[in-house]
Amino acid sequence: MAVEVAKIELKNVQDASGLEACLQRGQFRADDVIAVIGKTEGNGGVNDFTRILADQAFRRVLQKRGRRPERDVARIPMVWSGGCDGIITPHATVFARTQQDGATSSSRLAIGTAMSAELLPEDIGRPAMVEKVAAAVKTAMRDAGIEDSRDVHYVQTKTPLLTIESVRDAERRGKSVACEVHDSMGVSNGTTALGIAVALGEIGMPKAEEICRNLDLYSSVASCSSGIELTQAQIVLLGNKKGAGGRFRIGHSVMKDALDIDGIYEAIRNAGLDLPARPRAEDLNGRLVNCFIKCEADRRGTLRGRRQIMLDDSDVHHHRHAKAAVGGVAAAAIGDPAVFVSVDAMHQGPQGGGPVIAIVDAGT
């Protein structure tokens, strides 16, 4: 069974007409869809309900057009990242396992999914969360049929963050939490990234005091988001597998900083496209499906020796600065503003930079 990939634009926050169009023209069936990764136009914060609205819209279409029970549709991993600052276009990338026999000796895109054990409020930012995420990543590898961690190029996750109610729940049980509510998004993302890195052998098990502190520890393939929608780690793992079939391949690299356009092109090369020494968007020839990038403001407050004010701005949060800036660089690199750029990149790529993942159409 081959993996089919489609990138579709969201015309409004509850728009799933692009998904409907894919189903109508027979690109894949509703029951073939196994994961969705998308950008919505909300504020990207704890109270960004655009993620829930988009999620509901896509699940309604899959329920209406397919035969799966509602409980099965509800379990499809859908990772929605809020915030389309700057020129980023709201969009979704849909992944489906089709019924076609696309077996080939070449390596092609394979995908696996998993849900972790329940993540308690007191787990966030602590070794327990690292261990639970690592176990789920290994489950997702098995689901994808990938044995070698070097063949894994992208692990997209969605995990819970803290709310006032979940903090109170922990306190009622005599437990403490590791951070404040408004810090929990970054802490949840960072702890999850360490779990991914541990599962894939990028690092050893970190000490408790290193979590969200030792930024020299990171994963080069992790892209982590968090929200109020769930209480487990939702894992979507992508890599290349011989005999997987289909047209698509995946690769990754890292952006060393917010201006590292070469890191984007290196990820595309790693996925299998030949590019000239100094590529432009036109050199992609329409064969890039999408790029998935994590970024954040450099905590040192500099960029290539120049002073930056993102972290000093009291009017606009540094997340929005960073997302808009990197979104512009990425859109220029690929010639398309519908690019997945997400912030809170702690332990995801080097400090001030982040992982870059590219999916390309490698042909038959």
Give Cβ neighbours of residue 173 (< 8 Å, ≥ 6 apart). Answer: none
In angstroms, the CA 170 to CA 187 distance is: 17
Which residue in 7, 39, 132, 158 is the catalytic one? 158
Three-state secondary structure call for residue 145: coil
Radius of gyration of the chain (CA): 19
Q: Which residues contact 156 (CB under 8 A, 6 or more apart)?
A: 37, 79, 223, 224, 225, 235, 236, 237, 238, 292
Q: Which of 166, 184, 225, 253 is catalytic?
A: 225
Both tokens of 363, joined, read 């042909």
Q: How far is it, in rounded angstroms, from Cα 250 to Cα 70?
A: 31
114 beta partners: 235
> Is residue 225 annotated as a catalytic residue, yes or no?
yes
Q: How many residues does the chain have?
A: 364
The label of the residue with tokens 């859908």 reads 78
DSSP H helices in 152-301: 164-172, 184-199, 261-271
With a CB cutoff of 8 Å and minimum separation 6, the contacts of 277 are: none
CA angle, corner 291, sides to 264 and 40, nearest 5?
135
- Pairing, β 91-97 against β 222-227: unpaired
Helix (H) or strand (E) holding 159: strand 152-160
The question of whether 158 is a catalytic residue gets the answer yes
How many helices and strands in the chain, by DSSP H and E?
8, 14
Q: What is the dihedral of CA 209, 214, 220, 224, to 10 degrees?
A: 60
> What tokens does 62 get?
């899959």
Smallest Cα–Cα separation from 159: which of 222, 233, 211, 77? 233
Catalytic positions are 158, 225
